[in-house]
Structure 1
Amino acid sequence: MEVMGLMLGEFVDEYTVRVVDVFAMPQSGTGVSVEAVDHVFQTNMLDMLKQTGRPEMVVGWYHSHPGFGCWLSGVDINTQQSFEALNQRAVAVVVDPIQSVKGKVVIDAFRLINPQTMMLGQEPRQTTSNLGHLNKPSIQALIHGLNRHYYSIAINYRKNELEEKMLLNLHKKKWTDGLTLKRFDTHSKTNEQTVQEMLNLAIKYNKAVQEEDELTPEKAGNCKCRKARCEKTP
């Protein structure tokens, strides 16, 4: 299930867009595209946010591609065109919650390429900052028009020293982990499985010893030779 919403923030300078908050829209989709934006809901939501101390303007929109990767479909491009018609610097953000794993968020920001600019052979992106970096595009994104109909924008996460330290320590192992008690039913089940495995190994060992005792001296010697060759083989 795809979800979408609008991003609130400000245009800091000619090259920087700062996003400070987002809110979800009632639209959803089951494929790789979502429905058009509900302008009535958007207007009402912005009015309510201003009453709560959120006077920022809409700087773009976001939506999810669960399991599909980060790129824009044909419907997404049309939606982005409507945003850029209101503001040329509007940004489209795509997030993949399925591919996002622990310690890594699969997210990308896009803006459309003017066809006239491409015909003149000009570069659509301009930047004077080395903050952040552009990720290597996936083949799927290139197939769906990346660097032909739209281009990727570098994303930088603003965080202070304390926030950065907290995030770095979030998934770190602590000395208290060794003192944490497991649930009794889980621990009991693990113990039963371990005992059963030991019992099976003991039965197999006794069976092997009995078979060796029943062998004649000649066959027992051949078995020992085969075992020795197996142990020497790397």
Structure 2
Amino acid sequence: MGAWLGSRRELPACPQPAAPPTHEQQHDQSRRLEYSIPSSPTMGTALKTWELENAVQLVDPTKDALYNYSASAQKSINEAHPWRTDPHYFTSVRISAVALLKMVMHARSGGSLEVMGLMLGKIEAHTFVVTDAFRLPVEGTETRVNAQDEANEYMVEFLQRAREQGQCDNAVGWYHSHPGYGCWLSGIDVNTQKTQQMFQDPFCAIVIDPDRTVSAGKVEIGAFRTYSTEYVEAKDKAGGASKSRSGGTDSDGFQTIPLGKIEDFGAHANHYYSLQVSHYKSSLDAKLLEALWNKYWVQTLSSSPLISNREYGTKQISDLARKTQQESANGKRFKGGQSYHAGATADKNQLSKLGAAGSKIAREEDMGLLAAKVKTQVFNLNGTESEPEPEPESERVVEEKAKVMESQEVEMKS
């Protein structure tokens, strides 16, 4: 991820919000939106499954504080800036379901190329609250994405137009994708995030893996904050190391990090830490989610993760094979030297991780095959009726077969 820095141009003041709508007005708005969105039982089931997999929580309308933006409260916490004295001040990120779906669809649209965007929201005690997200016009490759002047101008223009329309949320972070190699920060990502925290703090970094999201059926996401250079140097002198723990990966990255990325992962693991990620939605978000889901649910039924994600599956199997060969060579080397007993425990741990990685790949493939089988049975894709299941054999038939088998065994022995 190339280093970038948005302009600090002063944005126009946010217009004063109108009086909150009454309960009757909210009900009428929800009903109008409900009638304007075509729905189906299949679409509703798929949406509910996605919400359950990602633990999306419904915010109580009577306690809907997450959506109430207070400019004075944000100004007060920014002036106090407690995160400057406490490197671990922020511990969690709460992302709205609509923002999450936008980021995932953007990451998936990039294919094998990295994409990048910005997140809007506010700051609460020890928590980033993300209410919305938008993509940036950037040029990406399979390993990095660079934001140039065009992206900075677009970002400033977007924030200015949003404020003119009454969306007063500030930029609280950036997101980008890691197609197929997990949620963590590379060396370039660490430098980018440090720059943002230096000039635009509070700021967080979100990483999404679209390939693993498709294979697992659950959003593979990680949120991170970096340490200052002084803090890292002090920790190194004290003999401690602060390693990040990203979602879906081990601390050393052996299980799910590709072999070609492990070195970059381990070289910068003590420069940042991970935040806990949770998701939420409101009653109005539920209608917006239906509108977004209605556009793509047909593709979900007509596509198979085994086909759409087969390149990722092939890479996973090849990477596991290379790791297995490497571990086999290491085992032979240990066995011939004096360090055999010392390396036996570490070798066993690595083999157990390889076994877990293989089981994970097998589960994902089984899920894809099961989904294809269910679609075939539901929609009768082969154009023929399913064959009836054979009736269970009677006890008399079972006894006769047992007698025949016993007689055959006696003849063979004789």
Shorter-normalised TM range: 0.5 to 0.7
Q: Give the match for residue 167 of structure 2.
A: 54
Counterpart of 1:36 in structure 2 is: 147
The match for 2:323 is none
The equivalent of 1:203 in structure 2 is none
Q: How does 1:1-234 map to 2 (within 5 A)?
A: 1-13=113-125, 15-36=126-147, 38-101=151-214, 103-121=217-235, 135=247, 137-138=249-250, 139=253, 140=257, 143=263, 144-145=265-266, 147-159=269-281, 182-183=378-379, 186=381, 188-189=383-384, 225=408
Partner of 2:362: none
Q: 2:71 maps to what in 1?
A: none
1:88 offset after TM fit, Å? Answer: 3.2
- More strand, by proportion: 1
Greater per-residue helix proportion: 2
Secondary structure of 2:176's counterpart equals strand
Consecutive unaligned residues of structure 2, counting only runs of 5 or more, are: 1-112, 290-376, 389-403
Which secondary structure does the structure 2 equivalent of 1:82 belong to?
A: helix
The match for 1:217 is none
CA distance in 2, matches of 1:124, 1:159: 37
Task: Using structure 1 for the length normalisation, give the TM-score.
Answer: 0.62
User: Could you tell me how far apart the structure 1 residues matched to 2:281 and 2:162 are?
Assistant: 24
Paired with 1:104 and 1:124, the residues of 2 have a C-alpha distance of: 31
Partner amino acid for 1:5? G
d(CA) in 1 for partners of 2:223 and 2:247?
A: 11
List runs of 5+ in structure 1 lacking aligned partners.
126-132, 168-180, 196-220, 230-234
Distance 1:182 1:135 in 2: 34
- On the 8 A contact 1:109/1:155 being kept in 2, the answer is yes
- RMSD (Å) for aligned C-alpha atoms: 3.9
Q: How many Å separate the matches in 2 of 1:55 and 1:2?
A: 29
Q: 1:162 to 1:56 in 2, by over 3 A?
A: closer
Which residue identity lines up with residue 24 of structure 1 in the other structure?
R
- Cα shift at 1:104: 1.9
**Distance in 2 (alpha carbons) for counterparts of 1:159 and 1:107:** 18
Q: CA deviation at 1:157?
A: 1.8
In 2, the alpha carbon distance for the partners of 1:136 and 1:159 equals 24
CA distance in 1, matches of 2:156, 2:409: 83
2:116–2:177 CA contact under 8 A, matched in 1? yes
* Paired residue type of 2:279: Y
- Greater Rg over alpha carbons, structure: 1
Post-superposition CA distance 1:185-231 (Å, at most 9, x none): x252465xx69xxxxxxxxxxxxxxxxxxxxxxxxx9xx736997xx
Cα contact 2:180–2:211 (8 A) shared by 1:
yes
TM-score (norm 2): 0.37
Q: Distance in 2 between matches of 1:48 and 1:134?
A: 35
Structure 2 vs 1, CA of residues 227 and 113 (structure 1 numbering), >3 Å: closer, same or farther?
farther
In the alignment of these two chains, the number of paired residues is 179
1:114 Cα deviation from its structure 2 partner: 1.7
Which whole-Å CA distance do the structure 1 matches of 2:385 and 2:269 have between them? 53
Name which structure has the greater RCO, CA cutoff 8 Å, separation 6+: 2
